[in-house]
Amino acid sequence: MDIRKAGLDDIETLTELRLAYLRERAPGLSATAAKSIAERCRDFFRRRLPANGLVAMLGEADGQAVSTAFMVLSERPANPDCPDGRVGVIMNVYTHPAHRRRGHSTAVVSRIVDEARAMGISALDLLAAGAAALLYEKVGFEPAGYSAMRMRLRGKEAPRQSASTPLCGTGGMTDRFLAREKRRCGRS
Ligand SMILES: CC(C)(COP(=O)(O)OP(=O)(O)OC[C@H]1O[C@@H](n2cnc3c(N)ncnc32)[C@H](O)[C@@H]1OP(=O)(O)O)[C@@H](O)C(=O)NCCC(=O)NCCS
Nearest residue (CA) to ligand 1, atom 39:
94
pLDDT for residue 100: 98
- 51 C-alpha vs ligand 1 centroid, how far in Å? 30
Point out the residues of the chain with pLDDT beneath 70.
156-188
- pLDDT tens-digit map of 73-85: 999 999 888 899 9
Q: Which residues pair with 2 in a beta bridge?
A: 60
pLDDT for residue 128: 95
Instruction: Look up the pTM and report it.
Output: 0.86
Nearest residue (CA) to ligand 1, atom 17:
135
